[in-house]
């Protein structure tokens, strides 16, 4: 097996639409909200899934999918165990990038900026909204740490059910949230013949979002 890919059988053209400057909101958060709604309406099965890219203190990059849980004009938020690899990387290097891709509408959004931890109040409020089984799992797991086998992991969850049988498992203080505060957005619309439409938003010195078209 040599890993070669037959691009003739996998290649496709992008035919869903176009993107012009006059179609863009001056506010990138409003533009993102509109595209997220379009992806949902188009039937994307997990429109809030996003790649979260981080790097450690030495610059070694890493990436994984997480779920966007909420956003507003302050930034984009997700939750995780702060002892995880991404948590340790964000502690050492509090900058990150997000990527959303919605193939049903041939659109991609890239967002980068600084990252701050959410407060305990936010973490507790979201933790209590999670399904019961997810709360037990989150408390049982020391995310990214080795464990000898699946049975050991399941026993940790079972032990918590015995200790907290009334569905009142507490949140581990290490489980919390993060907010990415954007300084760049890019909205990408796939086009025929790889002449894609790309627009970048970035703040100027007065804090105003400036928009420019990029070559594909």
* Ramachandran category for residue 86: left, alpha or beta (phi over 0 → left; psi -120 to 50 → alpha): alpha
Q: Which of 8, 11, 12, 194 is catalytic?
A: 194
For this structure, is 74 an active site residue? Answer: no
Q: Which residue has the tokens 């890239």?
A: 110
CB neighbour burial string for 77-89, b if at least 16 within 10 angstroms, e if fewer = bbbbbbbbbbbeb
Return phi, psi of residue 5, to 5°.
-115, 135
d(CA 35, CA 68): 14
Interatomic CA distance for residues 156 and 16, integer angstroms: 48
- Reading the block at residue 187, the tokens are 């909205």
Which residues are known catalytic residues? 194
């Amino acid at each position: 097996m040599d890993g070669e890919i037959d691009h003739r059988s996998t290649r496709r053209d992008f035919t869903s639409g176009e993107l012009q400057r006059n179609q863009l909101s001056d506010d990138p958060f409003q533009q993102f909200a509109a595209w997220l709604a379009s992806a949902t309406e188009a039937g994307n099965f997990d429109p809030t899934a996003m790649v979260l890219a981080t790097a450690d203190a030495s610059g070694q990059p890493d990436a994984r999918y997480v779920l966007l849980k909420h956003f507003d004009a302050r930034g984009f938020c997700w939750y995780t165990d702060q002892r995880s690899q991404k948590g340790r990387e964000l502690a050492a290097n509090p900058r990150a990038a997000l990527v959303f891709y919605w193939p049903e509408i041939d659109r991609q959004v890239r967002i980068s900026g600084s990252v701050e931890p959410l407060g305990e109040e936010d973490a507790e409020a979201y933790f209590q909204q999670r399904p019961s089984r997810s709360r037990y799992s989150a408390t049982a797991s020391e995310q990214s740490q080795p464990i000898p086998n699946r049975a050991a992991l399941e026993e940790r969850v079972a032990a918590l059910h015995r200790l907290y049988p009334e569905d009142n498992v507490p949140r581990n203080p290490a489980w919390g949230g993060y907010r990415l505060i954007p300084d760049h957005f890019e909205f990408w619309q796939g086009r025929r013949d790889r002449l894609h439409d790309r627009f970048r938003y970035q703040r100027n010195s007065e804090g105003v979002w400036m928009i420019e078209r990029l070559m594909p």
